[in-house]
Amino acid sequence: MGHSSFLLQLGGVNVLTDPVWSERASPVQWAGPRRLSPPGVPFERLPPIDLVVQSHNHYDHLDDTTVRRLVAANPGARWVAPLGVGAFLRDRGARLVTEHDWWDATDAAGLRVTAVPAQHFSGRGFRDRNQSLWCGWALQTDAVSVYFAGDTGYPAAFGDIGERLGPFDVALLPVGAYEPRWFMRPVHMNPEEAVRAYRDLHRLHGSERRGIFVPMHWGTFRLTDEPVEEPPLLTAQHWREAGLPDANLWRLAHGETRER
């Protein structure tokens, strides 16, 4: 859909990740980072949503208007979020909300869902910095396992995540918003680090040539200094340098669908 928003269809369950359909990633819609492209699917064309996973509360991942629209359209949807984010969702009408610490697992909408560590931070204003948690998510059925990293720097705990919950059929990893490195390195991976993180996830299981890597967190909002089209190009370069199969790197255009 753009940035870190995906529609995943897993075993008949429709899942949204970090949904943002607003024009700007901002507390107001007259200022702040503006979309460079529309959402991959118009909101009105979404199927019924069973589960929404939130990674943290930054404006480019947790959007007030989108939450309200989703609640109105899908009042029975389940929402999972890191510690401290549930109140935001409940205040906007979400009813089935659970909060989770790292490594906390729950059954949600027929999936096994586990909150996993990330290297990031939180806050929507000047007074709430790091007052709520941030995380990634492992989403698993009997047939498929998906890792959604949320927002994270490197090295995070990719080896531990892979050891505990891998191997993953699909890994959605952020590759953008990384320049300047002196400032962004602790909280955002660059493409080289993202490929390294993918390999860390799979190393114990020897599965790096079987899994799919989907780069995300690029091409929707101009948040940092690198050229907006650079992240997927550098990701492909480092992927090839690592000797990984070209067919397993899915650089999805906004609105593109693939089946695994």
Q: Is residue 127 part of a domain?
A: yes
Long-range CB contacts (< 8 A, 24+ apart) of 30-34?
32/59, 33/60, 33/221, 33/222, 33/223, 34/221
- CA–CA dist 167, 161 (Å, integer): 9
pTM above 0.75, yes or no: yes
If one counts every other C-beta atom within 10 angstroms of the C-beta of residue 213, the result is 26
Give per-residue pLDDT as tens, 100-159: 999 999 999 999 999 999 999 999 988 899 999 999 999 999 999 999 999 999 998 999
Q: Is residue 258 part of a domain?
A: no
pLDDT at 31: 83
Give residues with Cβ within 8 angstroms of 105, minimum separation 6.
112, 113, 114, 115
Report, as an integer, the average pLDDT of 176-205: 97
Q: Is residue 77 part of a domain?
A: yes
pLDDT at 32: 87
pLDDT at 243: 97
Q: Is residue 108 part of a domain?
A: yes
CATH code for the domain in which residue 98 is found: 3.60.15.10
Domain range for 84: 6-248
Q: Is residue 254 part of a domain?
A: no
Q: What is the largest CA-CA distance in the chain?
A: 49
Q: Is residue 61 part of a domain?
A: yes
DSSP for 63-108 reads -HHHHHHHHHH-TT-EEEEETT-HHHHHHTT--EEEEE-TT-EEEE
Contact assessment for residue 162 and residue 203, using Cβ atoms and an 8 Å cutoff: yes
Give per-residue pLDDT as tens, 171-184: 999 999 999 999 99
Domain total in the chain:
1
Give residues with Cβ within 8 angstroms of 38, minimum separation 6.
2, 254
Q: Is residue 253 part of a domain?
A: no
